[in-house]
Amino acid sequence: MKLVKMEMVKSVGLVLLAVSGVSLSGCNYEHSKGGSGGTLSQRQYDLGGYDQIREEILKPKCLECHAAKESPQLLTYEAVVENIRAIETEVIKDGSMPPTGALSAELQSLLKSWIDAGMPREGKSDPGKVPDPTPSAEPSPVPSMEPSPVPSMEPEIVRPVTFNFLKDNVLQGKCLKCHATGNRGGITPLDTFESTMSVDKLILPLTMGRVGDVVTDPADMMPPKKATQLNDREKLILLLWYNDGNKNDGKKKDEATTK
């Protein structure tokens, strides 16, 4: 009887050991899946800017149509920013795009986070990256004696973008040397909201080079080649002014022009 009991105890022990092994392996599996630090979509967004949106969403889900066949074409950062409200509505709110099926919750979260952060062109470095503990064999560089760069004093882009903000941050430096009231005849002034709105359909094609199916001849681009061109920040402000409804000091264009 003792021998039988011992064999039963051994059998029960083996069964418990097997069960505990399965439980532990399952626990380890969940731990390895979960990783560390935030949700997957938020952690992904922290590492990438527009390039990540292009690689993970636009290329596989949008550019099969919106690269040539369908309008709007979403081949550039500027084109995406220009159409971002329609993208947000159809991709995130309605789920009507892509036509092959709505994006996964993870990709929708990634896109929404990027939009809420102001649609940055550049990504961030990996906040969780562990530095290589192996010391470098190369000698330490000699510290530079040059002064540190002065932090940018450019004002933050506040939404909605108004005409005064556009004028102060874009038009004043790149357009009003020629396009000001009283300058040479035949040149439309851009120093007032009303005069700017009189040519609002021409401004984006002339400054961006392409808007939808409208392509501008390089010889007609503005500013002209000999002048200083718009930088990325200035292009973004211009696109956001259109995207926010061409507001004049907080008023929409139709409200301002009917008075």
Q: How far is CA 44 from CA 106, 114, 125, 199, in A?
A: 10, 10, 11, 41
What is the pTM assigned to this prediction? 0.46
CA-based nearest residue to 203, from 193, 73, 121 = 193
- Tens digit of pLDDT per residue, the chain (259 long)? 444 444 544 454 444 444 444 333 333 333 333 333 444 444 445 557 888 988 899 988 898 888 766 788 888 888 899 899 989 999 999 888 888 889 999 999 999 888 888 888 887 654 444 444 454 555 556 555 555 555 556 778 888 899 999 999 999 998 988 898 887 766 888 989 999 999 888 888 888 887 777 788 888 888 888 889 888 888 899 999 998 899 998 555 555 445 4
Are 73 and 82 in contact by the 8 Å Cβ rule? The answer is no
Distance CA 244, CA 252 (A): 9
- Cβ atoms of 25 and 18 closer than 8 Å: no
Q: List the structure tokens of 180.
A: 């000001």
Rounded Cα distance between 174 and 166, Å, is 11
Looking at residue 193, its amino acid is: F
Where is 156: in which H helix or E strand?
A: none
| Phi, psi torsion values for 248, nearest 5 degrees | -110, 95
Per-position DSSP letters for 50-64, written without gaps between them = HHHHIIIIIHHHTHH
